[in-house]
Structures are given as C-alpha cells and as structure tokens.
Amino acid sequence: MLTTANAAKVVQRIDTIPLFLHAYAYHLNMRCGRILPADLLDIAHRQQLAGVKIHVLDGEAAALCHACPEELQGFGARAAALGLELHIETSASDAVAIDEAVRIARHTGARSVRFYPRYEGHLHDVLDRVAADIQSMKARYSDSGLRFTIEQHEDLTSHELVALVAGSDWPQLSILFDFANMINANEAPLAALDAMAVHVTEVHIKDARIVTEATGNGHLACRSGQGELPFRALLTRLLCLGDKLPQVRAYGLEEEVDYYAPPFRHDNEGPNPWIPWREMSETPLPEHDLPARLQQEIDDAAAQLAFVRQTLALIRAEAMGFLGEG
C-alpha cells in the first residue's frame, strides 16, 4: 500500500526504471538460431532499454561461452556503444560455472553475474554446499568489481536465501527476485518479497498461473497480464526499495510463455527435506508449426514490454493522485 513517502519515491524513480531485455524472452528463437546474442543488443536498443541479461549458453553454437576473448570484447564494445549495460547469467554455483561466467563478464565489461544452485540432496547438505560455493566466489572475486546475485530459483525458500546472503558477509552478493519462482518453494510472491526485500537488487519480471499439485504448487508461465501473480503490487514494492536511492538496479523482462516448473517444496515436508536434481530451465519446442511458435515468442516479448510500461504508467498515476498532483 502506498504511503506519502513511497508515493514520492515512485514519482521520482519510475521514469528512469532500469528495464533490461532478458535473453530467455527469445529462448526458442535462440535455440533455433533465428536470434543470436548480437541481435539482442539491437533489439534492446530499439526498445530503449537499459541493458541486456544473457546466459552463457544462450545462442547455442553462437553463445558467449564459445566466443574467443576478441569476440567477447567486440560484443561488449557494441553494447557500450549502444549505451547498454550487460549482465551475465549462469545456472549453477560451482567453481567451474562461476569461473566461466566471470571470464565472459570480464571480457565483455559486464557488471553483474547471476547464479543459482542446482544440487540434489537433503536441504541442510545443499545449503552447506551453496554456502561453500559462495565463500569460494568471495575469496576469488571480491576484487573483480563485479556484483553477484543469487536467484530464488524454485527450490530454496526466501528465508533460506536470506540466511545464505547474510551469512556470507560479502557486500557484493545480493538476491535476484523472480516474480514466480517462489511458488515452487511453496511460498506466495508478496510474502517472499517481504522476507527478501532488504537483499534484493535485481529482478526477473514474468507472469504465471499457479498449478496446485498434491502437496505443493508449480507454475506455468504465461503472457504478462494474463496470470495470477500480483504484478502491479510487486512492481510498486520493488520501486520503493531503498531509502535515498533505488535499491533495485535491473528489472529483466523475462517472458517465458509455456515454461512449466513443478513443485520443489511441499506441505509438511519436515525440517530437512530432500531437494531433487533438476536440469536447467527450458521451454519445450512445439511438435508442429515451429515458425508460428517462434513468431509468437517475439510477439509475446513485445507484448510484455508494452504491458510493463502500461502498468508503470498506472502506478505513476496512482502515486501522483496520492500526492495530490494528478
């Protein structure tokens, strides 16, 4: 709920909100070679976005993980020439994955590296392994000039992530808040944001429908505005984080229509549940009419940007009205 102070923050910040293109919005097109990493820079520039979030594997054979240093430097130079900030993402927390992401980030001039753990085992063992991974990053990359974010990615709860970040004693580490991923950890979006708020510096924006299974919830991503998430309330609260300056530095537009993630945490699971192994996130390719599905993905990404900007306009109007400036 808006207060006078928060309404003033919204008015001051909303016109310069740092929206980022997220490569996953073009996931299928990139898997099929229709859109390459360099194309994302042009799309983001045309859409007047602040930057690009890209995974080390996005683009298959053309992915940044396969590029030589000179190619990575060229990619970074092109982004800089277009006024775009780069963020690199990887889907693991072990040293091999982080080293690769940092190498790419350094050569491209990226400012941030996102990771999330994918370990199988009892919860306490998984948390110990992740904490050790974070200490390894801290020891090796505290002087890198990079920021690191751990994403709440479906299996760990908000309180577990907060404990990991707070326990790391590493100012360069913070949380990336995803609009939907807490659902799979048996949490609700606004409550999860409240729990993590002080540590959140980056965001993945998406919408989803909640799929109730036996003792937990999955989520099926859909077009933004057509799901069950408190979209406007989340954006409003995120805009208000930070006292004098905005706390959130990047909002990634991660439209993921048709992506499904099952429950990972359950009712009455006990204090040390088993965390199952999982593959990296992937949306299935259609069995028929691939060209139409690829065009739909492009249309979905454009529709999300339009919906987010419309929602921001509504938030701004509400704040102006609250301040008596409407």
The predicted pLDDT at position 325 comes to 72
Counted residue by residue, the chain has a size of 326
pLDDT digits (tens, 9 = 90+) for 129-155: 999 999 999 999 999 999 999 999 889
Q: How far apart are CA 87 and CA 112, in angstroms?
A: 5
Residues of the chain short of pLDDT 70, as ranges, are 1, 326
Q: How far apart are CA 133 and CA 193, in angstroms?
A: 24
Look at the chain and report how many structural domains it folds into. 1
- Say which residues have a Cβ less than 8 Å from residue 31's Cβ, sequence separation at least 6: 60, 285
The predicted pLDDT at position 324 comes to 84
Of the candidates 304, 312, 323, the one whose C-alpha atom is nearest the C-alpha of residue 43 is 304
**CB 110, CB 86: distance < 8 Å:** yes
User: What predicted TM-score, i.e. pTM, was given to this entire model?
Assistant: 0.97
The predicted pLDDT at position 279 comes to 84
Q: Which domain holds residue 216?
A: 4-322
**Beta strands, E only, 171-257:** 173-178, 200-205, 207-212, 217-222, 250-253
CATH of the domain at 9: 3.20.20.150
Q: How far apart are CA 253 and CA 304, in angstroms?
A: 7
Q: Would you tell me how many other CB atoms lie within 10 Å of the CB of residue 242?
A: 17
Rg of the chain, C-alpha, whole Å: 19
Of the candidates 53, 74, 54, the one whose C-alpha atom is nearest the C-alpha of residue 65 is 54
pLDDT digits (tens, 9 = 90+) for 242-277: 999 999 999 999 999 999 999 999 999 999 999 998
CA dihedral of residues 68, 70, 72, 76 (deg, nearest 10): 180
- Residue 86: helix, strand or coil by DSSP? strand
The predicted pLDDT at position 278 comes to 85
H or E, element range at 22: strand 19-22
